[in-house]
Structure 1
C-alpha cells in the first residue's frame, strides 16, 4: 500500500477483415529490427495470405471458470483502445548460454542485433510480411530483441479480427473484462504455436499493490523542510552502519557510474525528494520515464520510499524510475501489461549497453492466485531476459501480509513477481541498534494485532509458490529443505530492515515500514559491491543463484546476519534459511569478501 491507505457484440463492421487477424499475428511473429516501432498503413492483404496460414485455433487466456461464469453487465465500446502485449517463445538453451554462471566482465555482452538473431523472431520472416502488408489504425511496437511486441487498437477491431467480443463481468466487489466466454479469441495455429503469452485482452488479474505504510502516527506537516527525522526512526546512516555499507563507502564506493532501475506504479513529489536528497548528501542522478503515457502518475509513498532508501545508501548512484499509472486499473486496461512494458523498457534501454552492472528494484506484487497465466508467463520471461541477457539482479519485495498474501488470514499464499525464479525475493525485519549505532538485534517483521484483514501490516511475506512448482536447482543450503518443502519455489531469499524507516513525504518526516524498503536496500548494497569488484577485479556478479552460492561458501566469513526470532504469522524464523527472512540480512563486507575471492 501507499502511505495513504489503499483498498484494493457487436462485431466491428468496418473495413477490417478476418485476414487482418492473420496479418497482425504474422507480423507479431516476424518482428524485425527494433528501430522500426510503428507499422505504417498499407493496402488490405489478399485472401491468399489468410488461406496460407492454415487452420484456426482458440486462444486460452487461462481465466478462471468462476470469472468467465460471472454475470455479464455490458460490452466494451468498439472505440475503446486496448493495449495488448504479445510475448514470443524463446530458446531456453540460448538464454542459459547467455546467462553463464552469474559472473561477467563489463563490455563482454553481445549487442542487441546479435542477441535478437539468437532469441527473437527472424528478421527475414518479418521483412517478407512487412513488404506487402501493414496494420492500419493500429500502433505496433517491437523490442530490439524481438521477443515482445505491443499493439494498441480499438476494441472493435480486435473483436472482429479475433472473432469474439469483449464483455464486462461483475464478480463479488470487482469489475473486469474478458473476451466472450462463448467466443474465445481465434488465432492461426501456425502463429499461436510461436506465442508464449498474450495479455491485455482481459484485465482479470488484480492490479499490483503498493507495499509501504506508516508504522507510527503521522507528525504534523512542517512549515519548512528540515533534516530532523524525529525519534524512534531508523536513519539511512544507521542502516549503512548496521549492515556494513559504510565500510564499502570508506573505500570510495558510493554508487558512482552504477545504475538502479526502479519499476513504480505511482510518482513522486520533486520537493519531497529534493529535501531528502539534500539531507543525505545525494550527488548522483535521478531520471524518470513514463511508461505508456505522456504524463507522470500522481505522487505516492511507494516511489518516495524507494528513492529515499537508495539515495541514503548509494548516494552517488544513477536512479532511473520507470513509472506507470495505477489509476488506469479502473479503466479498460490490464495494469500488469503496463508493468511488463516497464520491464521491457529497461531491457530496451540496456540492449546495447555493454554490461553496466545495473540492478532492478521492484516493490509491488499480488497474490499468485489472482494472476492470469498470461501475465505470469510474460513477466517471467522479462525477468529471465533481464537476468540472463542483460546480466542484472532483480530484487523484488516479498509482500507485507506475512504468509497470507491474499490478505485472508489462514489462506497460505505468496506474492508474484517475488515468487518468480528469476527474482531475488526480499523479506523484512525489525532492526534494533544500540547507543553506538551498532546492530543490536533483529527479528522478523510481523504484526498480528488485527487479523480481520491485512492492510499490508501483517509482516514479511514468505511461503511456497503455487505458480512455480519446481524449486530452482540453485535454491539449496542449510534450512532450505524442511518439513514444509514440497518441491516448489520457496521465498523469500533474503531480507532487510522493513520497519520504522525515516522517509520524507508530503512535507514531513514519517516512519515507514514494508518489504518495499528492503528491496531497494539490497539493490543499493549490490551496486556498491559490484562497483568495488569492477574496480579491483574487472568483473561483477548477478542473479538469484548468487545469494545461495555465497551462503554455501562462507566458511567463517558469514555474509548474512541470521535472523532466528519471530515469525510471519505462520512460518517461524530459525537457523539457516526460513520462510520469514530467507538466508538473512546483509553483512555486506563479508559478502563482498566472498565475491572478491571468487571473482
Structure 2
C-alpha cells in the first residue's frame, strides 16, 4: 500500500513538473513573441476613407508593379555630410549612410528571385515584379477601389514584412497608385500660329548677349533653315537675361561651362523644336537624355519648355534630362523618386560639382500618400545634404488653390518640401534697352470653374511641414502665417515667354518655366564662385541667408504688386512671389560673401 502511494505521489510530482515546464515554455514563447513579432504590418499612408471605399475587384496577378523601398538614415551622418565643404573632384559619398551588406543579403533572401536595384548610397532599393508575386511575399492581395470618381489599386490588408526590416524601412511606394499623377500641363498664353501678323525679331540679340556674335546667329538662320524670329510681343530669354542680370555674368565669360542642370521629366520632348531653338541661340553646351524605368510614351511639351529655358540662360551648360513614362497606370511618384535617386547615383563621385536640379511637377498636398512624401523627402534631403545640390521646384499654376477648387486654400508638393527651393511666377516687362521695367505677381482673371494651370503663381501654407528655422526674412511672419512651411521661396517670370513648340513660335507661361530659369541662374553663380573661391553655395537655407542686406546688397528684385488670387505681393517676403526675382549679379556677390 505504501509502495503504491509512493508510486502515485512520484507520478503526480512528475506530471506537475511537466505541466510547470510546459506552462513556463508557453509563457516564455508568448513573452518572446510579444517582444519580437515575426512580421510587422506597414502603413502606406493611404487615407482611411479611401481604403474603406467600395472594392470593384481584384488587381490581376499579372500586373507589373514597380516598388521602391526607402531606408531610414541616421540624421547625424546627413549633418556631417552637409558640413563638408566639397571641391571639384572630391567624392561626396559619406560612409555608412545606407544599409550594410548583411542587411542587404537578408533583403535579397526575402525577395528571392526578384532583381533588386540598390542605390549607390544604399539608402534606396527598387524592384519590378508581378502583383501576384508581391502579394504572396507581403501576405496580402491587391484590390481595385472606386473613390471620388476614380479608381486606384492598393493592398486589401496592410502588407507585412519581417520585423527587423520594418525597423529600417522609412517608406514603401509603388504598392498602390492612390497618389494622383503629377501635373505638368503647359500654359499657352496665345494659340500657336497666330503671330503671322505680328512684328518679329531675330534671336541674334540673344546670341550676342550670351557671348555669341550676331553674325553667328544670322548664319544659323540662313544656312540651317531655322526659324529664329519669335513674336516681338513675347519675352525672349535675352530679355530675361538683361532684366535679371544674367548677361552680366555672360559678359564675364560665365555661361555655365562645366556645370550640369538636371531636369526631372515625365514626358518626352519634341526633338525638332529643341534643335531649332538650340541652333538659334548657338548652344555650346551638351544635351543628353537618361531613360529611367523605361522611356516616355509620348511628348507633351513640358520637357521641351524646360530644356529651352535652361539652355537659353546657361548656353554652355551640360543639360541632363532624366525622363520616365508619366502615363503608365502605376505610382508615377515612385518613378519620379527613381529619377532623383538616379541623379544621386550619377553625382556621388562629385564629378559634376555645382550641379543643380529643376522639377516642374507637383500635386496638391492632399492628393499624395505620406509614403510617397517620405520617399521623395528623403531623396531631396540626400540631394541637398549629401550631394550639395540646390533643387528648384515649380510652386504650381493654380494660384492659392493647388487642388483646383477656387476658394479652397492649398499648396503643391514637392514645392512645399523643406529641401526644395519653391519657385513662384511673375509677369515681367522690359524697356527698349532690355532693362527690367515692371514686374508683378503672375495671375490671370480666372475661369473659377477650371484652373487649366492659368490662375497664377502658387503659394500658401503647407499642411505637411512646419516652417524651418532658416525660413526667416523680412515679411515671412505676417498675418497669414501659421508656423508652417511657406511657399514660394523665390520667383521668376512665368508669363509670355517665347518658346519654339510644335514647329512654331508661341508664348508660354507657368511656374514650370520659372523653376529652370532659377536653376540656370544658380548654375552660373556656382560656376563663378568655383572659379574664384573653389567652392559653391547650395540649399534653400542659402536663399534666406543672402536675403539679409548685410550679405552683400539686394540679391533679389522685390515684387510688391499683384496677387495669386488670394495672397498679395508685399514688400519683403510674401506668399505670391517669395523673396523676389533674381538680381543675379548682386545674388552672386551675396553668395560669394557667404562663402568667404
Distance 2:425 2:74 in 1: 36
Q: Does 1:343 align with 2:347?
A: no
Distance of 1:61 and 1:535 partners within structure 2: 46
Higher-Rg structure is 2
Contact 1:179 1:201 in 2 (8 A): yes
Moved more, 245-254 or 58-67: 58-67
In structure 2, relative to structure 1, the CA distance for the partners of 1:225 and 1:108 (3 Å cut) is closer
1:198 and 2:165 correspond:
no
> 2: CA distance between counterparts of 1:326 and 1:542?
29
What's the counterpart of residue 13 of structure 1? none
Q: How does 1:125-144 map to 2 (within 5 A)?
A: 125-127=103-105, 133=109, 135-144=111-120
Q: Is the 8 A contact 1:177 1:203 kept in 2?
A: yes
Q: 1:555 to 1:52 in 2, by over 3 A?
A: closer
CA drift of 1:308 comes to 0.5
Pick aligned residue for 2:387 from 383, 390, 393? 390
1:550 is aligned to: 546
Corresponding position of 1:591: 587
Which of 434, 439, 442 pairs up with 2:431?
434
1:413 corresponds to 2:410: yes
Which 10-residue stretch deviates more, 221-230 or 160-169? 221-230
Q: Is the 8 A contact 1:213 1:512 kept in 2?
A: yes
Task: Give the corresponding residue for 2:17.
Answer: none
**Residue 88 of structure 2 is aligned to residue 106 of structure 1:** yes
Instruction: Tell me the CA shift for residue 556 of structure 1.
Output: 7.0
Deviation, 1:79, is: 1.5
Q: Distance in 2 between matches of 1:98 and 1:552?
A: 26
Q: Are the counterparts in 2 of residues 211 and 302 from structure 1 also a CA contact under 8 Å? A: yes
TM-score computed with the length of structure 1 as normaliser: 0.86
> Among residues 563, 566, 584, which one is paired with 1:567 in the alignment?
563
- Confirm whether residue 286 of structure 1 aligns to residue 269 of structure 2: no
Residue matched to 1:209:
183
Gaps of 5+ in 2: 1-32, 197-223
Q: Does 1:298 align with 2:298?
A: yes
| Structure 2 equivalent of residue 507 of structure 1 | 503
Aligned residues, how many? Answer: 536
Distance in 1 of aligned mates of 2:578 and 2:355: 23
> For 1:24-103, what aligned pairs fall within 5 Å after superposition?
54-100=37-83
Aligned mates of 2:96, 2:176 — CA distance in 1: 31
- Report the CA distance between 1:55 and its aligned residue: 2.5
CA distance in 2, matches of 1:346, 1:96: 20
- Mapped to 2, the partners of 1:58 and 1:412 lie a distance apart of 34
Matched, 1:538 2:500: no
Q: Larger relative contact order (C-alpha < 8 A, sep ≥ 6)?
A: 1
RMSD of aligned Cα (Å): 2.0
SS at match of 1:482: coil
CA contact (8 A) 1:137 1:153 kept: no
TM-score by length of 2: 0.87
Deviation at 1:449, TM superposition (A): 3.0
Equivalent residues of 1:560, 1:586 under 8 A apart: yes
Preserved CA contact (<8 Å) 2:140 2:158: yes
Q: Which moved more, 1:68-77 or 1:522-531?
A: 68-77
Q: Contact 1:215–1:512 at 8 Å: present in 2 too?
A: yes
SS across alignment from 2:366? helix
Match of 2:397 among 395, 400, 403: 400
Instruction: After TM superposition, give the deviation of residue 128 of structure 1 in Å.
Output: 6.9
8 Å Cα contact 1:427-1:582 kept in structure 2? yes
Give the distance between the partners of 1:496 and 1:507, measured in 2 at CA.
26
Residue of structure 2 equivalent to 1:37: none
Distance in 2 (CA, whole Å) between partners of 1:134 and 1:194 is 15
Q: Alignment partner of 2:362: what SS?
A: strand
1:179 equivalent in structure 2: 155
- Post-superposition, which runs of at least 4 consecutive aligned residues in structure 1 deviate over 6 A? 50-53, 221-224
Q: Give ranges in structure 1 of 5+ residues lacking alignment.
A: 1-49
Quick one: structure 1 residues 554 and 270, their matched pair in 2 at CA, closer, same or farther if it must change by over 3 Å? farther
Residues 248-327 of structure 1: pairs in structure 2 closer than 5 A: 248-293=249-294, 295-327=295-327
Give 1:76 deviation, angstroms: 1.1
Partner secondary structure for residue 543 of structure 2: helix
Q: Which residue number in structure 1 is paired with residue 99 of structure 2? A: 121
Q: Secondary structure at the match of 2:463?
A: coil
1:460 maps onto 2:457 in alignment: yes
Q: Paired residue for 1:520, among 497, 516, 523?
A: 516
